[in-house]
Amino acid sequence: MKLKTLEISGFKSFADRTKIEFMPGITGVVGPNGSGKSNIIEAIRWVMGEQSAKGLRGDKMSDVIFGGTSQRAPLNRAEVSITFDNTDRYLNSDYSEIRITRALYRNGDSKYQINGTTVRLKDIHELFMDSGLGRESFSIISQGRVESIFSAKPEERRSIIEDVAGVYKYKQNKDKAEKELTGVQDNLNRVQDILYELE
Ligand code: ATP
């Protein structure tokens, strides 16, 4: 699986539509301080479902929308699209090319799409689940993250290892099954109460 393109429009400092094409090999982004290098990485995290405004250096999610400059009025919408080459089927999808789009409007409306079809955030998370990508993954290491892993509590470090080992999905399924089991047990208890009253 390869990252092919990133299209950014109205996101943070990228007021105009900007398309970045990733060539084979390593890509380096260079530029003066404050020119928007980190905003590119944040656009990638955002389109892949990041939900924390703080994780994107903002107070609220609408802070990612281009907020204007002395020469340019603020915009009403941020939109980012990312395209992966999935010919090796690394991501669990029948598509050999996967394009994910996320848009956010100032009034709070938002949408996610996979290959042009509107989907839920959950579908985006499921697409990346156990792929080593997605939120909280280690494919993107931001400044300060290395230090935070070193100083993490053992339980926090354990969840990192579980995530890398790919057991997260199974833990989620187990939690869901346990909740269902509790519901069934409650129903059984209720039936037994009714039977008792009838006897
Ligand atoms: P450094 O090398 O210092 O880490 P950088 O190239 O990574 O810098 P970024 O942190 O990506 O730069 O970009 C910061 C710039 O983005 C600032 O000029 C800031 O004003 C601008 N910016 C952030 N959010 C918005 C927004 N919502 N609207 C307009 N500009 C924004």
- Predicted confidence (pLDDT) per residue in 17-61, tens digit: 999 999 999 999 999 999 999 999 999 999 999 998 988 999 999
Identify whether 166 is part of a domain: no
**Number of domains composing the chain:** 1
57 Cα: distance to centroid of ligand 1 (angstroms)? 10
Helix, strand, or coil (residue 129):
coil
Say if 21 falls within a structural domain. Answer: yes
Domain that residue 100 falls in? 2-135
Average pLDDT in the 92-97 region?
93
Q: How far is the CA of 140 from the centre of ligand 1 (A)?
A: 18
Q: Is the pLDDT reported for residue 108 higher than 80?
A: yes
Residue 29 lies in a domain: yes
Q: What is the ipTM of this complex?
A: 0.96
- Residue of 14, 29, 35 to mutate, ligand 1, most atoms within 8 A of C-beta: 35
The answer to whether the CB of 46 is under 6 A from ligand 1 is no
Answer for the pair 11, 46: CB distance below 8 angstroms, yes or no.
yes
* 192 within domain boundaries: no
CA distance 187 to 185: 5
Question: HSE on the CB side for 189, CA within 13 Å?
Answer: 6
- Residue 12 assigned ligand-binding role: no
Q: How far is CA 108 from CA 27, 102, 111, 121, 134, in A?
A: 34, 13, 10, 15, 23
Does the Cβ of 24 fall within 6 Å of ligand 1? no
Cα separation, 118 vs 103, whole angstroms: 11
* 39 CB near ligand 1 (under 6 Å): yes
Residue 34 marked ligand-binding: yes
Q: What is d(CA 69, CA 129) in angstroms, rounded to the nearest whole number?
A: 38
Tell me if 32 is assigned to a ligand binding site. Answer: yes
What is the rounded distance in angstroms from the CA atom of residue 165 to the CA atom of residue 125? 17
What is the rounded CA–CA span in Å between residue 127 and residue 94? 11
Query: Relative to the CA of 143, which ligand 1 atom is closest?
Result: 4
Mean pLDDT value of segment 133-147: 75
pLDDT digits (tens, 9 = 90+) for 67-91: 999 999 999 999 999 999 999 999 9
Is 6 part of a structural domain of the chain? yes
Contact call for residues 79 and 101 (beta carbons, < 8 A) = yes
pTM of the model: 0.80
| Within a domain: 152 | no
Closest CA to 11 of 132, 88, 108, 103: 103
Weakest-pLDDT range from 2-6, 151-155, 157-161, 178-182: 157-161
Asked whether residue 59 is assigned to any structural domain, the reply reads: yes
37 lies in a domain?
yes
Residue 46 belongs to domain with CATH number:
3.40.50.300
Residue with CA nearest ligand 1 atom 30:
13
What's the first-to-final CA gap in the chain, in angstroms? 64
- The per-residue pLDDT for 31 is 95
CA angle, 143 as apex, 168 and 49 as ends, to 5°? Answer: 45
Check if 58 has its Cβ closer than 6 Å to any atom of ligand 1.
no
Ligand 1 centroid to Cα of residue 174, in Å, is: 42
